[in-house]
Amino acid sequence: MSAVPGQTVGPFFHLGLEFPQMNELVPPASPRAVRLHGRVTDGGGNPVPDAVLEIWQADPQGHVLRTPGSLRRDGWTFTGWGRAATDPDGHYQFFTLEPGATEQGRAPFFAVTVFARGLLDRLFTRAYLPDDPDLLATDTLLESVAPDRRATLIARREPHGLVFDVSLQGPAETVFVTYPRLRDAWA
Amino acid sequence: MESSQADINREIEAAAQQPGGPQPKIDYAPYRSSILRHPKQPAHLIDPESVELWAPAFGHRDVAVDEADLTIQHAGTPIGERIVVTGRVLDGDGRPVANQLVEVWQANAAGRYRHQRDQHPAPHDPNFTGVGRCITGPDGSYRFQTIKPGPYPWRNHLNAWRPAHIHFSLFGLDFTQRVVTQMYFPGDPLFQYDPIYQSITDPKSRDLLIAQYDHDLTTPEWNTGYRWDIVLTGTHRTPLDIDEDQA
């Protein structure tokens, strides 16, 4: 069966995709909250003010959650999924918990989806936690990426959270990923 | 200098001669905003693992049943052709995508979005927001009651008009099946002029975005109807996993 092609989210996606607390996987004031944030830039280094990112992650214990409630947050339940639009400066932010490893010995990461006006199809990438160099050194994806591009997949730690910038094009272009059944669908 | 429609048509024509495929070309200069916003490096092929083998879960606590009716969100009745848009969400192996979130947004009958950035001088409709959500049924079905959106102008080039469309946001059985796309209406005369639609250079694949008029969906004295079935890419999970999950 032929898969439906994607199309851009366009300039008016806020209308359909925004909802209250969409970027608050945990309340920002929660003592456990970390801020995952960054800027989305284009090939000219300009901010992309009309992008929208989604993250999907395990909980700190490494459990993949099957819990509804992402669209109507109750301030307590952690669902592992959130969405954030960029501001006029191309900046986005999430308040969340740090994902744990879903398997012993694997590097924990946020799965990230990127949409934007001007982007005709969505992009997938990963934002790894930066803390364990041994795990990162043996990660299948990171190992297979040219060394000078690996850093684009690893969030940077700062005092109150994590920074993950997304460069859609250019010298620091983020590594975007695809998966076997996507590639086959388009073969 | 601002491009004319004739310039864009020539570029669309030229791009159609290049080897293309069923997905949009993300490097598609006739859509001017794409020029600086597409990655130039090929996507890196990986086997999905961890959370990528699962989709986020949504349920009826996330979405009220009446969010699927875009015509009852205000005190009055919106202006325009009342339509039903319905179909099924299937994965690439024909499996229904049950209990999953579908989000839609669209312009009103005059082609105006209820969005600050839409400043073209068509009227707003105080009785129409243009946003809907639903959770798919056990057979993957979704159904929206809405108003047929109008075409609208945009600034890609001089006198650019988008064919009428409804934006659809879809989730699958795993993370990798996530897609946002646009549903179009049959026979729209603007198709040939639209670089967003034409960015899918394979005509058969492009046609997958066009709903079918279905007279069986009409209600006397009330609405006409369109059917649009949506096939996602295949899931990377095993059928056994999925049965357990959906049980």
Tell me whether residue B44 is in a domain. no
Amino acid letter for position B149 = P
Q: In this structure, are residues B178 and B169 in contact, taking their beta carbons and an 8 Å threshold? A: no
Beta strands in chain A (DSSP E): 34-41, 51-56, 81-85, 91-96, 109-116, 123-128, 156-158, 161-163, 166-167, 177-178
The domain tally of chain A equals 1
- Known active-site residue B213: no
Task: Look at residue B12 in the predicted model and tell me its pLDDT.
Answer: 97
Cβ contacts (< 8 Å) between B94 and chain A: which residues?
1
CATH code at B145? 2.60.130.10
Tell me whether residue B43 is in a domain. no
pLDDT tens, residue by residue, B176-232:
999 999 999 999 999 999 999 999 999 999 999 999 999 999 999 999 999 999 999
Closest residue in B to A186 (Cα) is B22
Question: What SS3 class is residue A174?
Answer: coil
Does an H or E element contain B195, and which? Answer: helix B195-198
In DSSP terms, which residues pair with B180 in a beta bridge? B169
Q: What does the DSSP assignment read for A23-47?
A: TBSS-TTSTT-EEEEEEEE-TTS-B
Confidence label for A183 from pLDDT (cuts 50, 70 and 90): confident
Q: In this structure, are residues B102 and B134 in contact, taking their beta carbons and an 8 Å threshold? A: yes
CA A150, B180, A184 angle in degrees (round to 5)?
A: 65
Task: Look at residue B140 in the predicted model and tell me its pLDDT.
Answer: 98
Distance between CA atoms of residues B199 and B15, nearest Å: 8
For residue A14, the 8-state DSSP code is H
Confidence label for B78 from pLDDT (cuts 50, 70 and 90): very high
Distance between CA atoms of residues B35 and B27, nearest Å: 7
Confidence label for B238 from pLDDT (cuts 50, 70 and 90): confident
Q: Give the percent of chain B with pLDDT over 90.
A: 91
Residue reference for tokens 């607390």: A21
Cβ contacts (< 8 Å) between B24 and chain A: which residues?
5-7, 120-121
Contact criterion met (CB < 8 Å) for A181 and B50: no
Distance between CA atoms of residues B125 and B122, nearest Å: 10
Tell me whether residue A7 is in a domain. no
Does residue A176 belong to the interface with chain B, where contact is any CB pair within 8 Å? yes
Q: In this structure, are residues B76 and B152 in contact, taking their beta carbons and an 8 Å threshold? A: no
pLDDT tens, residue by residue, B122-181:
999 999 999 999 999 999 999 999 999 999 999 999 999 999 999 999 999 999 999 999
Which residue, among B64, B96, B44, B22, has the nearest Cα to A186 in the 3D structure? Answer: B22
User: Which of A5, A16, A175 has its CB closest to that of B181?
Assistant: A5
| Model pTM score | 0.97
The domain tally of chain B equals 1
Q: In this structure, are residues B56 and A79 in contact, taking their beta carbons and an 8 Å threshold? A: yes
Does residue A138 belong to the interface with chain B, where contact is any CB pair within 8 Å? no
pLDDT tens, residue by residue, B3-48:
999 999 999 999 999 877 789 999 999 999 999 999 999 999 999 9
**Phi-psi group of B104: left, alpha or beta (phi > 0 → left; psi -120 to 50 → alpha; rest → beta):** beta
CATH code at A62? 2.60.130.10
Establish, for the pair of chains A and B, how many residue pairs have beta carbons separated by less than 8 Å: 249
Q: Residue A108: which domain range?
A: 13-185
Tell me whether residue B45 is in a domain. no
Task: Look at residue A160 in the predicted model and tell me its pLDDT.
Answer: 83
Contact criterion met (CB < 8 Å) for A173 and B41: yes
Position A33 pLDDT exceeds 90: yes
Does residue B182 belong to the interface with chain A, where contact is any CB pair within 8 Å? yes
Tell me whether residue B216 is in a domain. yes
Q: Residue B224: which domain range?
A: 5-34+55-246
Q: In this structure, are residues B165 and B194 in contact, taking their beta carbons and an 8 Å threshold? A: no
Position B113 pLDDT exceeds 70: yes
Tell me whether residue B26 is in a domain. yes
Amino acid letter for position B178 = R
In DSSP terms, which residues pair with B231 in a beta bridge? B90
Position A186 pLDDT exceeds 90: no
pLDDT tens, residue by residue, A135-159:
999 999 999 999 999 999 999 999 8
Tell me whether residue B48 is in a domain. no
Task: Look at residue B228 in the predicted model and tell me its pLDDT.
Answer: 98
Task: Look at residue A187 in the predicted model and tell me its pLDDT.
Answer: 58
Q: In this structure, are residues B176 and B233 in contact, taking their beta carbons and an 8 Å threshold? A: yes
Tell me whether residue A4 is in a domain. no
Distance between CA atoms of residues A151 and A173, nearest Å: 10
Question: What SS3 class is residue B59?
Answer: coil
